[in-house]
Amino acid sequence: MLEVYTVGGGEYLVNTFNAVAAWAGGGGYRSLLRVVMVMGLIYSLLVVAFTLNFRAWLNWFLQATGIYLCLMVPTIDVKVTDRLNPSLSPATVANVPLGLGVLASFTTQIGDWLTRTAETVFVMPGELNYTTNGMVYGARLFDATRNFTIRDAEFSTNLENHFKNCLFGDVMLYQKSLTNLAKAPDLWAAIGPGSEARSQEWLERQGDGSVQNFIVTCRQAYDTLNGQWASMIEANAEPWAKEVYPKLSNAVAAAKLKHDVPIVNAAFTGSGDDFTGVMRQNTAINAFMQARNSMAGGSGAASIDTFAQTRADIQARNTYNSIAQQAMAWVPILNIVLTVVFFAMFPVIFPLFLLPQTGLSSLKGYAMGFFYLASWGPLYVILHMICMTRAEAASNGVAAGGMSLGSYAGIGAVNGETATIAGFMLMSIPFLAGGLARGAMSIAGQATSMLAPAQNAAEAAAMEQTTGNYSYGNVSWANS
């Protein structure tokens, strides 16, 4: 029995192998091969007649007979192993032609071995590996945790009121330093213990579903909120987890989130906080930002140079983001589709292997396609390693030992940029793999296309800055 490895799409490969086994084992397909052999014989005899090269017939006969007897006649059982779906069932297919089974097994085992070996060389936590959780999982998870908010309406309102009426009052009365708050690795602890002299509105949900409001001191509010944090985070763990892992059950998703968040947080910030500590810091910072935004107001105007630069950056980022989102979704699917198509086309292409003169070249080209697809996995890992290493270094430099109010925006920018770069670089995987198969210099011509969005954005912004012509938000509809 031979084993075929894949990262996703295992059920499609099983169905494809079943289809190939059914096609190749049918009497109609065997009749087709006999017709092709007769056509090959006629063609070889014509070659002998016109070139007087009797070896052309002998070469074709030995070549076609050898290919048929070695690649099509023997059959073998194939087991499909999906790294993302270990419970794939059924995973074993019988009576697969030996040629397809050997090519598929050999090339996928090479790709799988190179992928897994590369991950052991590029040292990072197992949860952050490409084969475990996918491309730039750490950056994606860390970015998702920054958007988590407490979904209890009364708790969120009480927390926002505490920031507005108590914390901001302490800051304006010089009881708290914004510098210390911005650097605090535990923002909630730095806010306490609350003033006895000021108060806030407090909402409390009753057993019958109604809500009562009353006034409490800031210290009472802080103590009550402090006692509710852990239970609120525990209650919101499942909804948060379903956002990140929509295909897992509630309990499994919550357990995975609680396990992975501290590991990702340690890798990106160097902090050793547990799940509750990480989420309390994130949600406290989110609540602080919401309270600040609801109290802040005003507008400003940038200089024309700053506007031009900002416009170029935004256009380039929007272009890269659009491409990245498409790439993250479609490039892995493209790999699965191409793999399935290559496997499924074996019975269709095999008759070409039996023809004179072109048979061996067709077989060589078909086999090279398998090695082309096998190279995608190691390229994924290398790209993943580059992006994650860069993200960890940049995040640790910004965080300086833990996420804080001051580093919150910087870490978010690093994660967003990492996901964007990774997604955009995924677009390069198909032509990088093809370029490696044809020669490294063939890749050089593709490099300019990757920089085209930034170049076009900068050129457009420079032209606007030079000419002073700006045009935005124009609508043209049903022109004739």
Tokens, residue 33: 């091969």
Element (H, E) at 385: helix 376-399
Beta carbons within 10 angstroms of residue 65's beta carbon = 12
pLDDT value for 120: 75
Q: Which residues pair with residue 52 across a beta bridge? A: none
pLDDT in tens, the chain (480 residues): 899 988 878 888 899 999 988 888 877 888 888 888 888 888 888 878 887 777 777 888 888 888 888 888 888 999 998 877 777 777 888 988 898 889 889 988 988 888 888 777 766 666 777 767 766 777 778 878 877 888 888 999 999 899 988 998 888 888 888 888 888 888 889 988 888 888 999 999 888 888 888 899 999 999 999 999 889 999 999 989 988 888 788 888 899 999 988 988 888 888 888 899 889 988 888 888 888 877 655 444 444 555 555 555 555 555 545 555 566 667 778 888 888 888 888 888 888 888 887 788 888 888 888 888 888 888 888 887 887 787 778 877 777 767 777 777 777 777 777 777 777 777 777 777 777 666 655 555 555 555 565 566 666 667 766 777 777 667 777 776
Q: What is the DSSP string of 174-216?
A: TSS-HHHHHH-SSHHHHHTT--SS-EEEEEEE-TTS-EEEEEE
H helical segments located in 345-358: 346-353
DSSP string, 87-126: T-SS-EEEEEEHHHHHHHHHHHHHHHHHHHHHHHHS---G
pLDDT given at position 318: 56
| Residues 6+ positions from 363 with CB-CB distance below 8 Å | 67, 353
Please state, in angstroms and rounded to a whole number, the distance separating the CA atoms of residues 378 and 374: 8
**DSSP per-residue letters across 218-240:** HHHHHHHHHHHHHHHHHHHHHHH
CA 290 to chain CA centroid, Å, is 29
HSE-up (13 A, CA, CB side) for residue 77: 6
- 67 SS3 class: helix
CA–CA distance, 342 with 34 (Å, rounded to integer): 23
pLDDT the model gives residue 224: 92
C-alpha of 129 from chain center: 12
Distance between first and last Cα of the chain: 66
Domains in the chain: boundaries: 2-122, 142-295, 304-467
Name which of 41, 8, 13 is nearest 355 in CA terms. Answer: 41
Residue 478 is classified by DSSP as S
The one-character DSSP state at 147 is T
Hey, is 8 helix, strand or coil? coil
**pTM for the structure as a whole:** 0.64
